[in-house]
């Protein structure tokens, strides 16, 4: 009986605050919708699929990890973003001054609007993620895989900054 009472108390304590969920989000109970428009692409080097892939990955994460309804406009939450950087740089250089590894880095600027709790808003917050690859490979050969890794990292960081507040 004591175990049951302690368990019931713990469950009620966690659910009574109305903002904690077991997915790690801290969304207020009166926040019900989110708007996630397609991220704009403004980087100098062009990747024609990156904007759509990042935007769709964001939508998928919010669909899977929150109870929020995704709406076209005027959601209680709104996340807009611009891909501002898509850069490849040499990372590790060999003794003969040849790049052994290269790094693809993607940078995104994000605006977050919480119409119910404006104190949580932020503008132009920069998120950056990278993936390294062996320079014996061409970027074209590994670009899709690298972008998938980078998108996963960016989505995690943006999700945490907006609704998990980590």
Partners of 41 in beta bridges: 83
For 143-156, how does the pLDDT look when each residue is reduced to its tens digit (9 = 90+)?
999 999 999 999 99
pLDDT score for 121? 96
- 30-164: CATH number: 3.30.160.150
Partners of 78 in beta bridges: 35, 113
Over range 104-125, report the average pLDDT: 97
Please choose, from the candidates 126, 128, 123, the residue with its C-alpha nearest in 3D space to the C-alpha of residue 78: 123
pLDDT score for 24? 58
Would you list the domain boundaries of the chain? 30-164
Mean pLDDT of the chain: 87
């Amino acid at each position: 009986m004591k175990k049951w009472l302690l368990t019931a108390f713990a469950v009620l304590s966690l659910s009574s605050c109305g903002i904690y969920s077991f997915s790690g989000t801290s969304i207020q109970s009166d926040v019900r919708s989110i708007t996630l428009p397609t991220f704009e692409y403004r980087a100098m080097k062009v990747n024609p699929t990156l904007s759509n892939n990042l935007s769709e990955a964001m939508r998928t994460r919010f669909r899977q990890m929150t109870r929020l309804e995704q709406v076209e406009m005027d959601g209680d939450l709104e996340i807009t973003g611009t891909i501002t950087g898509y850069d490849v740089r040499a990372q590790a250089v060999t003794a003969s001054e040849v790049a052994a590894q290269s790094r693809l880095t993607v940078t995104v600027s994000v605006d977050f609007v919480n119409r119910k709790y404006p104190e949580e808003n932020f503008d132009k917050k920069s998120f950056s993620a990278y993936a390294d690859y062996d320079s014996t490979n061409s970027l074209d050969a590994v670009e899709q895989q690298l972008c998938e890794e980078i998108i996963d990292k960016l989505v995690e960081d943006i999700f945490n900054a907006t609704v998990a507040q980590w």
